[in-house]
Structure 1
Amino acid sequence: MLTMDDIIRDGHPTLRKVADDVQLPPSEEDKQILTSMMEFVQNSQNPEIAAKYNLRPGIGLAAPQINVSKKMIAIHVLGDKDKLYSYALFNPKIISHSVEQAYLSSGEGCLSVDEAIPGFVPRHARITVRAYDIDGKEIQLRLKGMPAIVFQHEIDHVNGIMFYDHINKQDPYFRPENALEIQR
């Protein structure tokens, strides 16, 4: 079982590397890593398990955050109308996105970043992602709102990008014109 001790912190070189593609069909080892990533995200949202193992709550995790430089992400988040978006994916890639932007009103956080970093993180309001599920089957997802933001955050991780790289350095609370504010 993964714990906070398995998560590398800001400043670790793996977080800044572009991760390698996962060979398809995925190996048993890669499937096991991805499964354990999803278990961590789900466990971190369970108050009893999180308290017992001292887990910080998370809604997404990318393999580079556990020092595995491969394109794997696990996401478990509620979207509009409390629809659950629960995906463990290999080689996720944004294949199209809206011009319209969005940002979380509360800013973003990250399991690899221990301190709060204030500011708005502009993202695309809507995205289409192509990826491969745990069995290596191709899937395509159209996302908006909170799930779109979470997917962009995790896909950034496999590309060596941290959320705070997007924050306007001169004006951290700069709101892009006509951007959608997403309450969290």
Structure 2
Amino acid sequence: MLTMKDIVREGHPALRKTAMDVANPPSKEEKELLEDMLLFLKNSQDEEIAREYELRAGVGLAATQLGVLKRMLAVHFEDANGKKYSYGLFNPKIVSHSVEKAYLTSGEGCLSVDRSVEGYVPRYARITLKAIDLEGNELKLRLRDYAAIVFQHEIDHLNGVMFYDYIDKNNPLVAPEDAKAIN
């Protein structure tokens, strides 16, 4: 079972490296790791388990956050409309995105960042993503608003980019131009 001890923190070199594609089909070990990543997220959102194992609640996790430079990510969350997203994905790739931007009014957080970072992170309001799921199926997801933001945050990890790289250093709490606010 993955715990917070397995997650690398800010300053670890893996967080600034680009992850490599996973062969299709993925190895047994890669599939097991991705299943463990998804289980970590589910456990982190279960109050009892999170308390017992001292897990910080998370909605997404990229393999690079475990020091593994492979294009794998897991997400587990529900959007404001009650739609559930629970995926383990290999080789996720954004194939198209909107011109319109969006940002979370609460800002973004990260399991690899043990401090609060003030500021708005401009993201695409809508994205289309292609990936391979845990069963080996190719899938195409059309995502908007909060869901699009979560997936972009995790894909950025696979490209060595941290969420705070996007924050305006001079005016972190000024709403990004032409971007819609997501609460």
Calculate the TM-score normalised by the size of structure 1: 0.98
- 2:142 maps to 142
Which amino acid letter does the alignment assign opposite residue 4 of structure 1? Answer: M
Taking the aligned partners of 2:80 and 2:132, their CA distance within structure 1 comes to 24
Query: 1:77, CA displacement in angstroms?
Result: 1.2
Taking the aligned partners of 1:11 and 1:120, their CA distance within structure 2 comes to 22
Tell whether the 8 Å contact from 1:25 to 1:135 is kept in structure 2 after alignment.
no
Taking the aligned partners of 1:76 and 1:6, their CA distance within structure 2 comes to 18
- 2:118 maps to 118
Taking the aligned partners of 2:76 and 2:158, their CA distance within structure 1 comes to 17
Matches within 5 A, 1:9-158: 9-158=9-158
Taking the aligned partners of 1:175 and 1:165, their CA distance within structure 2 comes to 16
User: What runs of 5+ residues in structure 1 fail to find an aligned partner?
Assistant: none
Instruction: Please report the RMSD computed on the Cα atoms of aligned residues, expressed in angstroms.
Output: 0.7
- 1:4 maps to 4
Calculate the TM-score normalised by the size of structure 2: 0.98
- Provide Cα deviations, 1:145-169, integer angstroms capped at 9, x if missing partner: 1111000000000000000001011
Which amino acid letter does the alignment assign opposite residue 3 of structure 1? Answer: T
Which amino acid letter does the alignment assign opposite residue 123 of structure 1? Answer: R
- Provide Cα deviations, 1:68-105, integer angstroms capped at 9, x if missing partner: 11000000111142110111100001100000000000
Taking the aligned partners of 1:13 and 1:111, their CA distance within structure 2 comes to 16
Query: 1:177, CA displacement in angstroms?
Result: 2.3
Taking the aligned partners of 1:11 and 1:126, their CA distance within structure 2 comes to 30
Query: 1:174, CA displacement in angstroms?
Result: 2.5
Query: 1:132, CA displacement in angstroms?
Result: 0.4
Taking the aligned partners of 2:13 and 2:81, their CA distance within structure 1 comes to 39
Which amino acid letter does the alignment assign opposite residue 118 of structure 2? Answer: P
Q: Matched residues, percent identical? A: 60
Taking the aligned partners of 1:84 and 1:28, their CA distance within structure 2 comes to 26
Instruction: Give the SS at the match of 1:82.
Output: coil
- 1:178 maps to 178
Query: 1:135, CA displacement in angstroms?
Result: 2.4
Taking the aligned partners of 1:146 and 1:84, their CA distance within structure 2 comes to 12
Taking the aligned partners of 1:172 and 1:90, their CA distance within structure 2 comes to 33
Tell whether the 8 Å contact from 1:80 to 1:145 is kept in structure 2 after alignment.
no
Tell whether the 8 Å contact from 1:77 to 1:86 is kept in structure 2 after alignment.
yes
Which amino acid letter does the alignment assign opposite residue 131 of structure 1? Answer: A
Taking the aligned partners of 2:8 and 2:158, their CA distance within structure 1 comes to 14
Which segments of structure 1 move beyond 3 Å, counting only runs of 4 or more? none
Query: 1:175, CA displacement in angstroms?
Result: 1.6
User: What runs of 5+ residues in structure 2 fail to find an aligned partner?
Assistant: none
